[in-house]
Amino acid sequence: HDCSRTCGSILSPDLLSWSVCTDDVSGSSAEYPDRVSMMEGRLQSQEDEITLLKSSLADALRRLRLHDQLIPLLKQQIIAGGWPTIRPQLYSFNIIVSRKLSSSSALDSPRHPATRYCARPVERDCGHGMGWLACLSRSCLTLFFSLSHWLTGQSIKMFIRGRPITMYVPSNIQNYEDLRMEPPVEKLELDWVYGYRGRDCRANLYLLSSGEAVYFIACVVVLYHINNRTQRHYRKHTDCVRCLTIHPDKVRVASGQTAGVDKDGKPLQPYVHIWDSSTLITLQQIGLGTFERGVGSVAFSFADAGAFLCVIDDSNEHMLSVWDCAKGTKHTEVKSTNEAVFAVEFNPSDSTNIITCGKSHIYFWTLSAGSLTKKQGIFGKYKKPKFIQCFVFSLTGDVLTGDSEGNILTWGKSPGDVKTLGKGAKETFQIMRQTRAHDGSVFTLCMLQGGALLSGGGKDRKIIRWSADLAPERECEVKDVCVRAYVNGEEVLVGTTRNAILRGTFSDGFVAIVQGHVDEMWGLATHPSQDVFLTCGHDRQVCVWNTEEHKLDWCTTLEEYGLCADFCPNGAVVSVGLSTGRWLVLDLQTKEVISDYTDGNEQLSVMRYSPDGSFLAVGSHDNFIYVYNVTESGRRYSRYGKCNGHSSFITHLDWSKDGKYIMSNSGDYEILYWDVAGGCKLLRNRYESKDREWASYTCVLGFHVMGVWLEGSDGTDINALCRSHSERLVAVADDFCKVHLFQYPCPKPKAPNHSYEGHGSHVTNVRFTHCDSHLLSMGGKDTCILQWEVKRAGTGDGGDRLHSASFTSSPEP
Ligand SMILES: *[C@@H]1O[C@H](CO)[C@@H](O)[C@H](O)[C@H]1NC(C)=O
Ligand SMILES: *[C@@H]1O[C@H](CO)[C@@H](O)[C@H](O)[C@H]1NC(C)=O
Ligand SMILES: *[C@@H]1O[C@H](CO)[C@@H](O)[C@H](O)[C@H]1NC(C)=O
Number of domains in the chain: 2
- Residue 812 — pLDDT band, cuts 50, 70, 90? very low
Tell me, using a 6 A CB cutoff, whether residue 636 lines ligand 2: no
Query: Measuring CA to CA, which residue among 247, 265, 263, 264 is closest to residue 255?
Result: 247
- Residue 310 — pLDDT band, cuts 50, 70, 90? very high
Our CA dihedral for 444, 449, 450, 451, rounded to 10 degrees, sits at 20
Tell me, using a 6 A CB cutoff, whether residue 710 lines ligand 3: yes
> Residue 210 CA: which ligand is closest?
1
Who wins on pLDDT, 4 or 500? 500
Tell me, using a 6 A CB cutoff, whether residue 749 lines ligand 3: no
The kind and range of the H/E element at 676 are: none
Least confident of 98-112, 286-300, 316-330, 608-622: 98-112
- Examine the fold and report which residue of 313, 333, 354 is the final residue of a domain before the chain moves on: 354
Residue 769: inside a domain: no
- Residue 178 — pLDDT band, cuts 50, 70, 90? confident
Tell me, using a 6 A CB cutoff, whether residue 550 lines ligand 1: no
Domain span including residue 43: 1-82
Q: Are 779 and 759 in contact (CB under 8 A)?
A: yes
Atom of ligand 2 nearest to the CA of 677: 4
The kind and range of the H/E element at 536 are: strand 532-537
> Residue 613 CA: which ligand is closest?
2
Query: Measuring CA to CA, which residue among 667, 761, 747 is closest to residue 709?
Result: 747
Ligand 2 center to residue 678 CA distance, Å?
A: 11
- Alpha-carbon distance of 364 to 347, in angstroms, equals 10
Q: What is the mean pLDDT of the chain?
A: 82
This prediction has a pTM of 0.79
HEC per residue, 190-209: EEEEECCCCCCCCCCCEECC
- CATH number at 221 reads 2.130.10.10
pLDDT recorded at residue 419: 74
Residue 275: inside a domain: yes
**Residue 788 pLDDT > 80:** yes
> Residue 640 CA: which ligand is closest?
2
Q: Are 568 and 534 in contact (CB under 8 A)?
A: no
**Residue 729 pLDDT > 90:** yes
pLDDT recorded at residue 80: 54
**Residue 117 pLDDT > 60:** no
Residue 216: inside a domain: yes
**Residue 761 pLDDT > 60:** yes
CB within 8 A of 694, min separation 6: which ones? 654, 655, 656, 657, 663
Tell me, using a 6 A CB cutoff, whether residue 640 lines ligand 2: yes
pLDDT recorded at residue 21: 26
| DSSP classification of residue 274 | E
Residue 320: inside a domain: yes
Q: Are strands 482-488 and 472-477 parallel, antiparallel or unpaired?
A: unpaired
> Residue 612 CA: which ligand is closest?
2
Who wins on pLDDT, 111 or 689? 689
Q: Are 807 and 745 in contact (CB under 8 A)?
A: yes
pLDDT recorded at residue 460: 86
| Angle at alpha carbon of residue 716, lines to 714 and 717, rounded to 5° | 70
Residue 288: inside a domain: yes
Residue 65: inside a domain: yes
CB within 8 A of 179, min separation 6: which ones? 173, 747, 748, 806, 807, 809
Residue 61: inside a domain: yes
- Examine the fold and report which residue of 319, 354, 389 is the final residue of a domain before the chain moves on: 354
- Alpha-carbon distance of 246 to 210, in angstroms, equals 13
> Residue 738 CA: which ligand is closest?
3
- Alpha-carbon distance of 561 to 603, in angstroms, equals 9
User: How large is the average pLDDT for residues 192-209?
Assistant: 90
- Alpha-carbon distance of 236 to 240, in angstroms, equals 11
Q: How far is CA 196 from its chain centroid? A: 17
Atom of ligand 1 nearest to the CA of 210: 13
CB within 8 A of 796, min separation 6: which ones? none
Pocket probe mutation, ligand 3, options 181, 709, 755, 763, max atoms within 8 Å of Cβ: 755
Tell me, using a 6 A CB cutoff, whether residue 629 lines ligand 2: yes
Atom of ligand 1 nearest to the CA of 230: 14
pLDDT recorded at residue 157: 84
Atom of ligand 2 nearest to the CA of 615: 2
HEC per residue, 617-648: EEEECCCEEEEEEEECCCCEEEEEEEEECCCC
Atom of ligand 3 nearest to the CA of 710: 13
Ligand 1 center to residue 193 CA distance, Å?
A: 19
- Alpha-carbon distance of 478 to 508, in angstroms, equals 12
Pocket probe mutation, ligand 2, options 616, 626, 629, 632, max atoms within 8 Å of Cβ: 629
Tell me, using a 6 A CB cutoff, whether residue 753 lines ligand 3: yes
pLDDT recorded at residue 793: 76
pLDDT recorded at residue 337: 95
Tell me, using a 6 A CB cutoff, whether residue 210 lines ligand 1: yes
- Residue 146 — pLDDT band, cuts 50, 70, 90? very low
Query: Measuring CA to CA, which residue among 354, 271, 350 is closest to residue 313?
Result: 271
pLDDT recorded at residue 97: 30
The amino acid that residue 445 corresponds to is L
Phi-psi region of 555 (alpha: psi -120 to 50; beta: other; left: phi over 0): beta
- Alpha-carbon distance of 426 to 261, in angstroms, equals 46
List the residue whose alpha carbon is closest to atom 2 of ligand 2: 629
- Residue 350 — pLDDT band, cuts 50, 70, 90? very high
Tell me, using a 6 A CB cutoff, whether residue 228 lines ligand 1: yes
pLDDT recorded at residue 489: 74
List the residue whose alpha carbon is closest to atom 12 of ligand 1: 225
Pocket probe mutation, ligand 3, options 710, 732, 738, 741, max atoms within 8 Å of Cβ: 710
Tell me, using a 6 A CB cutoff, whether residue 678 lines ligand 2: no
Our CA dihedral for 795, 800, 806, 807, rounded to 10 degrees, sits at 180
Give DSSP secondary structure letters for 759-791: -SS-EEEEEE-TTSSEEEEEETTTTEEEEEEEE
- Alpha-carbon distance of 253 to 204, in angstroms, equals 11
Tell me, using a 6 A CB cutoff, whether residue 67 lines ligand 3: no
Least confident of 135-139, 179-183, 456-460, 658-662: 135-139
Our CA dihedral for 577, 582, 586, 591, rounded to 10 degrees, sits at -110
Least confident of 83-92, 208-217, 421-430, 743-752: 83-92
CB within 8 A of 223, min separation 6: which ones? 208, 210, 212, 213, 214, 231, 232, 233, 234, 277
Tell me, using a 6 A CB cutoff, whether residue 230 lines ligand 1: yes
Same domain, residue pair 349 and 214: yes
- Examine the fold and report which residue of 320, 354, 388 is the final residue of a domain before the chain moves on: 354
- Residue 739 — pLDDT band, cuts 50, 70, 90? very high
Q: How far is CA 10 from its chain centroid? A: 49
Tell me, using a 6 A CB cutoff, whether residue 755 lines ligand 3: yes
List the residue whose alpha carbon is closest to atom 1 of ligand 2: 629
Peptide bond into 745 cis (omega under 30): yes
**Residue 517 pLDDT > 50:** yes
Residue 13: inside a domain: yes
pLDDT recorded at residue 103: 30
> Residue 675 CA: which ligand is closest?
2
pLDDT recorded at residue 95: 31
Atom of ligand 1 nearest to the CA of 212: 13
Ligand 2 center to residue 639 CA distance, Å?
A: 9
- Alpha-carbon distance of 649 to 666, in angstroms, equals 5
Percent of the chain with pLDDT over 70: 80
